Structure 1
C-alpha cells in the first residue's frame, strides 16, 4: 500500500511557508459561486476539522454530490489571539487536497465556533474578535462591502435558495460574538458529574445573560418572517440537546426560550437545526414548549472524535449516537406529494450510520 503521509507532510510544509510569507486570503475566483436561484436537493454539513490532520472525509462528502456544504464551526483549530497563528491554521486547511476539491466543485457557506473564533469556550470577552472576524471573512471569500464585515453582533447571515415552492432558507447564527460568560459548577460537583460524563457547565439563571446580541435577535426575527418552505438554522452549539453539561443553548435558558417564543410568534414553518461542536454525531428532538416537534442533526467531527467512554448524556437524544469521522446530509425529495427530508450522518466510507426520514408536513405550526 502506498502511504499518503509523505504527500501530506509536503503540503503542510508548503502551507506553513506561504502563511509565513503573506496573509492567507481566499481566492474566491477559484471557488464555485453561490447560485440562490438553484434548487437544493442535497445539503451536506460538518464541523470540527483539525487542520494538522489528514482529512479523508472529503472523499465521502464529494461522493454524496451535495448542492451546498455548510461549515458549522471549528473549521480550524486556531486557539490563539495571534492573527498570524490563525492565518497559518487556515493555510493548512487551504492546503488539504480534499478541501480544495470541495471548494472547486461545491458552493460553501460557513459560520464559526470557539476554536476558529478565538479560544476554547470563549465568548464576547475574546479580545481579538474584530481581527479574527477579518481573518475568517477573508478566508471564506466575503467581499469588502459584505454586511458580515460591517454590522454589529458578529458574522451571522442568511441565504435563500430555489423558487418559491421549493425555497430553502439557510440561517447561520453567531453564538460567540456577544455571548455572556458560561456558568460553571463547583469542582466537587464536577467530580460527581464526571462519573456520568456530564460537563462542568450549567444554566445561567440571569435573565439578561446573552447568547446572541440584540442586533442579531432583531435580524433573526426579520429572517423568520421571510417566506420559505424549509428553514435550516445552523448554530455552532446544540440547540435541542439538554443535560450534557457542555456548551449548549440550554445553558442560557432565557435565550433558548426567546427563540422558542420567536418561532411561535412568527409562525416560522419548516425549521430544522444543524449543529456541531460535540465530537460525536446524533439526532435530537424537542416537543415541549415548541410550535411543532423541533429536530436537530448534530454532526461532529470531520476529524475529531470524543472518547467512546466519555459520551455526554442528552435527554432529547433520538436513537443512537455515532463516534468517528462524519458529516451530516439532508436529502430533499421535492417530487413527493408531501416532500420528504432524509436526515443522515455518514462516515468516512460514505455509509449512512444514522438515518431518519421526516415529512415536510411534520414541520408546520
Structure 2
C-alpha cells in the first residue's frame, strides 16, 4: 500500500498516524493546498507530476479517486491496487499530508446514495486502501466524513471532508436535461448528509478557525440543470447556509469536483457572506461534450474542460490574509483564478 500517508476523512500516514490522530491541530501554518478529483485508474496520469511540483503542504482528493462502479469488492480492491501501483500517485502522496473523501464511482455506483447495497463493504475497502488504523473513529461509525485543523491561532485552516454518498436519499427524476435526469425535491424527509453527520458538522463549525474548506464531492452552489448537486435537495442546501450563519462560522469556502470541468460559483444573496464553490475536475479525463451546464451562479469568466487540478495559496502575513484559488492545467499553468480577502468571508 502507501507509505507515510495521512488522510483525514479517510486517509492516514502509517508512519505518523498515531501522533497526528492524537493531536488533530498541527502547529505549522498551511500556505499551499493542492486538490483535484476524478481519476480513471487505468488511464495515464501525467498531471500527478505537475501537482507534486507545487510542493504543497496539503493534498485533497475530492472524490472519484477510482472508478469502481461495482458491487463486487474484489473488483473494487483490484482497482484500488491499480491506483496504488501507479508510480506517479505513489510519488505524489509522499510529498505532503493528504486528505480525501469519495464520490459516486469510488463509493461503488454511478449517482449512488444510501440505497447502494454494498455501502458498508465499500467503506471498509476505502478505509483499508488508505491504511486507516483499526482504532480510528472512522472504523467505528457509518460514513467517511472527517475534519482536521492545521496551524496556530490566527492562522488556522480547518478542512472538513463531507460524505455526500453514504446517507443521501434517492433523488427525484424527470425528463432528462443536458446535465441529467434530476430535479429539485423539497421532501422534508430526504437528506444529503444524514442526522449523525449533520450533528457532527454543527460541532465542527463551532471550532475556532480562520479559514474553513468544506469539501463536497458534488457542487454545493451550482444551479440544478439535471446533474447531481445540492440544489436537488434545496432544503438541505438551505440547512447548510443556516448552519454556517448560526454557528458564526467565518471563512467558509466549498471545494467540489465531479463535473469533469472546472469553474467557480458563488451565492451572494440570503447568505451571511458570499459563499464560493471552487469546482475542480478532472485529473485525467476530458469532458466528452465540452460545454458546461447552465449555472447562473458561475462567477469565473470561463470553464475549463481539459485535465486540471486546483491550488490554494494563503498569504497569512498580510493584515487581511489573502486566499488565492487557481485551476491549473496539465503543465501547471493557471487557467482560472479567484482571489478573496479573508475579510470578504465574514458575516455582514
TM-score computed with the length of structure 1 as normaliser? 0.88
Per the alignment, in what secondary structure is the counterpart of residue 158 of structure 1? Answer: strand
Larger Rg: 1
Which residue matches 2:207? 226
Segments of 4+ in structure 1 off by > 4 A?
30-35
What are the superposed Cα offsets for residues 23-58 of structure 1, whole Å, 9 maximum, x if unpaired? xxx994468986822211001111000100010011
Q: Residues 198, 105 of structure 1: CA spacing in aligned structure 2 closer, same or farther, 3 A cutoff? A: closer
User: Could you list the runs of 5+ residues in structure 2 that have no partner in the other structure?
Assistant: 2-10
Question: Aligned equivalents of 1:210 and 1:126: distance in 2?
Answer: 15
Which among 146, 149, 152 is matched to residue 160 of structure 1?
Answer: 149
Match of 1:302 among 259, 283, 291: 283
Which of residues 314, 319, 342 is equivalent to 1:360?
342
Higher mean C-alpha deviation, range 142-151 or range 272-281: 142-151
Compute the displacement of 1:308 (Å). 4.3
Aligned length: 332
- The farther-off stretch of 60-69 and 304-313 is 304-313
Q: 1:212 to 1:223 in 2, by over 3 A?
A: same
Question: Superposition pairs for residues 269-284 of structure 1, below 5 Å?
Answer: 269-284=250-265
Task: Note the alpha carbon deviations across 1:127-186, whole angstroms, 9 max, x for none.
Answer: 11111111101111211011111124x110000000011000000000001111011113
Give the corresponding residue for 2:89.
99
Unaligned runs of 5+ in 1: 1-14, 16-25
Q: Does 1:129 align with 2:119?
A: yes
Q: Answer 1 or 2: which has greater helix percent.
A: 1
Higher alpha-carbon deviation: 219-228 or 33-42: 33-42
- Cα separation, partners in 2 of 1:335 and 1:50, compared to 1, 3 Å: same
Q: Normalising by the residue count of structure 2, what TM-score does the alignment of the two structures yield?
A: 0.92
Match of 2:7 in 1: none
Match of 1:312 among 289, 293, 296: 293
Whether the aligned pair in 2 keeps the contact of 1:31 and 1:107 (CA below 8 Å) is no
Residue number in structure 2 paired with 1:81:
71
Alignment of 1:1-365 (within 5 A): 28-29=13-14, 36-152=26-142, 154-186=143-175, 190=176, 193=177, 197-318=178-299, 319-365=301-347
What is the distance in 1 between the residues matched to 2:292 and 2:251?
A: 30
